[in-house]
Amino acid sequence: MIFRIIFYFGLSLCMVFGDALDDKIQNLIGMQSYNVNRNFIDRIFQNKNDFYTDGRIDIQKLMATLKDNGLLVLKFKEPAELNVAFVSQTTPIFLTRSINSTLSSMGYSYFAVSKAEYIDGIAKITFSFSTEHALDPSIVINELLKRGYFFTDIKRNSIYDWEYDIELIDPKLANAREISSADGIIDVRDVSGEYWFSTQDSGNIAIKAKTSSWHPRIILYDKNLQIINLINQTTPTNKITFSLLDGVRFIMISDTQNPAIIKNGIQIQFETSE
């Protein structure tokens, strides 16, 4: 009797998993393609449980499998407007910055935010641009993984309209260098004159510029790029020391008058609180 209960429970679970996976495949490749390639799809996904992790569809594995087997059609018949929405439990400014850097790293130069929403702590940003194909989900996934995101779902409303549901696990900025007390004194140079750092500790920061004409402008952000503190100094100097409060995750260092003043580099040293 117990064996029979376990058997039917396992069978029903497989049916639920199978239905959900089939629905997602249909959504991602379109019903017409799904029907044409049904036998091929059944062979590829015969072990449906392999495409689940902790009870959820493994979106990254699913997208890679569809792409590797030629089932994911992304190219348009002609250039058209593509709309891609990203949804995550973070602030619009952090999500926008993450997607901007992701699209830039993928080679896209011309895109715009066509819609932005922020409701109950959830940001939804829609990007629009003219292109000949939809974004490659596998590349988007890999790029956003580097920025601390985990993918929960991808929805295809049409080949021209997509939505990515992502969860921010470990906030990262592509251009922010991680610093810790173990690094000692770090020499960095950026021709933009704008330096970004990240840390997960509290402590003291000492910065030294390679010029005595520096007017320090330092912005301290939390993990969602909300400003915690702003330091603006009008008197020129070549060094400054300040303390990091709890909750500071990102640090931006520049000059109040002209960022180019420190384009030749700075030295930074971070000491954690005892």
Q: Which CATH architecture has domain 177-270?
A: Sandwich (2.60)
Q: How far is CA 125 from the centre of its chain?
A: 12
Encoding tokens for residue 107?
């080679």
**Can you tell me the distance from the alpha carbon of 28 to that of 153, in angstroms, rounded to the nearest whole number?**
11
Q: Pick the more confident residue, 181 or 262.
A: 262
Q: Which CATH architecture has domain 74-172?
A: 2-Layer Sandwich (3.30)
Q: Is the pLDDT reported for residue 14 higher than 60?
A: no
> What is the pLDDT, as a whole number, of residue 12?
46
- What are the extents of the domains in the chain? 18-71, 74-172, 177-270
pLDDT digits (tens, 9 = 90+) for 68-110: 999 999 999 999 999 999 999 999 999 999 999 999 999 998 9
> What is the pLDDT, as a whole number, of residue 5?
45
Q: Is the pLDDT reported for residue 8 higher than 50?
A: no
pLDDT digits (tens, 9 = 90+) for 195-229: 999 998 888 999 999 999 999 999 999 999 999 99
- Under the banding of pLDDT at 50, 70 and 90, the label for residue 273 is low
**Can you tell me the distance from the alpha carbon of 123 to that of 210, in angstroms, rounded to the nearest whole number?**
40
**Can you tell me the distance from the alpha carbon of 111 to that of 185, in angstroms, rounded to the nearest whole number?**
39
Whether 168 and 88 have beta carbons less than 8 Å apart is answered as: yes
**Can you tell me the distance from the alpha carbon of 125 to that of 98, in angstroms, rounded to the nearest whole number?**
11
Name which of 106, 29, 42 is nearest 71 in CA terms.
29
For 20, residues 6+ apart whose C-beta sits below 8 A from its C-beta are 57
Q: Is the pLDDT reported for residue 62 higher than 60?
A: yes
Q: Is the pLDDT reported for residue 13 higher than 70?
A: no
